[in-house]
Structure 1
């Protein structure tokens, strides 16, 4: 087999794996479990373990991306939640991780899993309508850099000082800027 064909078939297999529902399900479920701070859950009451298992089951269902046109079919909350379940899964995982205050190593794992999950379930880069051209590393590198900055700011031990509002304001400003740049780039492309 020619090296070019072997390279193309390897890229095709990698793309198929990344686009598969199984990859999204595994990443989403791992994200939810890590967000619950499994080390403290295992030391706690049995009800905590049951809650984590229930959340993992919901994550398994909610994790695959929905690659459909963004058309609202109904104004009911249940329909909106079903259509936006990947967003709710990611946001819920961040909220749960913030509420459980996991150790730094667990928070780093949650950050990495969140980044991987968002990159795999992004319909612009991985959906059926995504361009089939060679993947550019810029969006993934930008997302990784943003995740690292937010993780470092969130891990900084200044939450009980007078300086705590400055990193929060910078993080919100950076998030708004990144979203604006991403939307601008999508319109141009």
Structure 2
């Protein structure tokens, strides 16, 4: 089977977007922690913040391997930064509303938005890693393996928190910490199974 070709310029752009996503992710988590009320959720986000700082270093190393300046700007990177800043502003606005529980839910939604982009970035990088060869291929594979599990955890667990906090806000019985957390899911299939089992955990 012939090796799949990929656009190296587009890969560079993806990595620059990834750098901005991880930098913005740090600010998103700092803002989210200021909104966190539930102690289990706060602990979770504190861990995610530390992992995000580690991911920044992974992407910087990847930039070095690709001969990229991690500070280099691009139009798509500016868009990523704008979205990240907008999420932080949304959380600040929610805190001004004077309802801590509502602000916490908004923060959860903002983290899900940020982590959806972050997860997609790393998933795409994994696709290129399968196609790339030589030193570049090894660098991509090493970066992907170092971060992929963290990204699955961040996205699926926070989606669970978001769902259960919204259910609680509606005055219905919620599973807190969410099933995704209790069952420590690490994949989309695992997250789906955990959600299906929530009724038995009430």
TM-score range, shorter chain: 0.3 to 0.5
Q: Say which structure is richer in helix.
A: 2
